[in-house]
Chain A
Amino acid sequence: MTINDIPPGVVLLVAAAILPFVSGKARWVVALAAPIIAMADGWVAISDAWAADAAGSARYISQWQFMGLTLRPVFVHAPTAVFATIFCLMVAGGSLYALNQNRRFELAAAMVYAGGALGCVFSGDLISLFVFWEIMTLGSTTILWCARTEGSYRAGLRYFALHAVGGVLLLAGIALHVGQLVGQGHPDPLAFTHYSQMVEGWTSFGWHNAGLWLMLVGMLVNAGAPPFSAWIGDAYPEATESGTVFLSAFTTKTAVFTLMVAFAGVEVLVYLGLWMAVYGIIYAILENDMRRILAYSIVNQVGFMLVGIGVGTKLSIDGAAAHAFAHIVYKALLMMSAGSVLYATGRRKCTQLGGLYRTMPITMWCGIIGALAISSFPLTSGFTTKSMILTGITEQAGAMAIAGQSHDHLIAAWFILEAASAGVFLHAGIKFPWFVFFNKDSGLRPADPPWNMRAAMILFAGLCLMLGMFPGPLYAILPYAAEAADYANVIYNFEYLLSMLALLLFSGLAFFVLLPLLKRSETLTLDTDWLYRRFFPRLWKDVLMPIVRGLEAAQKVVLENLPGKPLSGEPRSPLARLGTEWAVSVPVFVISAMLLIYLLMYFVILPNG
């Protein structure tokens, strides 16, 4: 076993096991060293894979044989480099931001969560993928519960339930798919790879690809695709100020990664992505909670990525990967800025905030830089990444026009995403800073947060600007670096700059013209979560429960008229023991033990004997 056999995600899981038991300086060292070590470990694997590619030899794989399964927990997919890098950066930045709080388990939970995400990114087989996928769910639910409020407890339960359903769909899909491949005598049934049969056959629902469809839906739950978009806005704003920073980064982007690996080019992703891009804006416009505004804009941004994946050309996939990288940075920055406001004021509603520019200049400027970056303003990270997706769409439309294929959906996608780009500036770019830092004076005069939170924000703000001005290093680690390098030569041209500025600034004009309509009110907006928060509980309580209660009387009548005597109080014959109640635990234990022994015999003892 060498360093190449240690999955980078496991490094973070080890750190998570240590963190609750250390304090003071040791806690800082563990929290900041873990992402650096994980990054180094990951890059050893990535550079080995690239070297193997260059030499034309078989791609680097760490392969484990486990109970007859071939596992590859350290595998480098085309988008692994870009996602692994940003995940580790995010853990470092998020830890720096979180280190002054004294909640014992939150940072450890964040490491579990990030470890799961990083594990998925290096998973070369479906078993590893599923295990890390579920670790992610456990970590993120724990982060939510670390807020220790009634709201976070309930939101955590809903979050966990929904992701458990998503995980089960994924698992069922994997089981079905792998089972079919085994039946066909496939040499490598567990491989987590691109399923090209879904690209041509995405409109066909049949038994032969039912497993892949289930996997797709399981991943889409985590991506926040409709009808599962509500969980993002429901759960994320309930975590602590540092918890939300972590949550905003990993779940949706890991789903983007897995969709990119497995389902690039599947057309339905284009439509789902377009829906998400618009949904995020509409709901964010109506929202009052500052971090819920930002949560809705995650859905909106992931929508852009899904469109890029669905279009499925090299440039559009590069765009989606680059945008995920940039998005994690500026979204974390925005959540840090909003978190600092929450930390300093204890308030989360726009209606109770405003005018904070006076005393929180660093939080404000960092928030504004994040807001400009999410709006893809020139010279910020959003500009150099989102534009790649849009160019990917126009290029693919041109190619399909030459080939005589129908491509109306791409034309529609381009116009809708341009409109959504304008809408991003409206709902996140201006609305968030405006209502929190400007607008009316709330009378609050809080100071900027402690130095570590300021440092994390400044670091990420700098990264937003750097990626906007010098995108070269990011482009170099994209899945298709050659296409990205070509693209780097054309991105900053005057016509495009002017178009983008015009689109954004006139969107800004629309904001101020419509300001009376955008006035905040203390409301929430119903979403599909209404079904499981209100409809089904009420259905149970007000309809089904009374019916069951009504049947109780009938049941009583039947039971009372059964022949025979009660068992208790009878004199006991030796055989009467069989008629008394037994604890279920003993037989369950015996059966489990027998199954375990059988399993060990089958896999361990028999093959050697």
Chain B
Amino acid sequence: MKLDDPRVIKWLWAAGLLVLAVIIGLDWLIHHHAHFPRDGITIDTLPEFFPFFGFASCFLMVLVSKALGIALSRKDTFYDDQ
């Protein structure tokens, strides 16, 4: 593999974005079934719910962990002096 070559990296990004675009396109076209039809929850039947939910939940989890890290992170030698 020639991952050191910036052209290869560019090509990989392009291929990746293309795959994401195809998924967005397909997600518009197909019909999503509700997971909790008897509870009137329809948000998971909206087009692009899963792409959005995957991105947003990861975004949120990274932010939460960064915020938690401010309070709970220590140098990794923290326990070494016992």
Contacts and interface: CB of A to CB of B under 8 A. Distances in A.
Contact of B78 (A283, A286, A422, A524): A524
Nearest to B29: A498
B36 A394 contact: yes
A419 B20 contact: no
Contacts of B32: 495, 499
B61 A282 contact: yes
Nearest to A390: B35
Contact of A522 (B16, B26, B75): B75
Given A494-B30, A534-B79, A537-B82, A514 B62 contact: yes
Given A398-B37, A525-B73, A282 B68 contact: yes
Interface residues of B, number: 45
Contacts of B50: 498-500, 502-503, 506
A509 B55 contact: yes
Interface string A479-508: 000000000000000110011111111111
A154 B82 contact: yes
A533 B36 CA distance: 45
A316 B11 CA distance: 42
Contact of B51 (A278, A494, A502): A502
B66 to A, nearest CB: 6
Contacts of B1: 357-358
User: Residue among B1, B3, B58, B66 with the most chain A CB within 10 A?
Assistant: B58
A414 B35 contact: yes
Nearest to B55: A506
A504 B62 contact: no
A510 B63 CA distance: 11
A281 B35 contact: no
A510 B55 contact: yes
A278 B64 CA distance: 11
Contact of B3 (A438, A498, A508, A527): A438
Interface string B39-82: 10100000000111111011111111110110011111011001
Given A495-B30, A499-B50, A523 B76 contact: yes
A500 B54 CA distance: 9
B76 A510 contact: no
Contacts of A357: 1, 3
A459 interface: no
Interface of B: 1, 3-4, 16, 19-20, 23, 26-27, 30-33, 35-39, 41, 50-55, 57-66, 68-69, 72-76, 78-79, 82
17 contacts: A154-B82, A281-B61, A423-B61, A441-B4, A498-B50, A505-B23, A506-B54, A508-B16, A517-B62, A521-B73, A522-B75, A522-B76, A523-B75, A524-B78, A524-B79, A525-B68, A525-B73
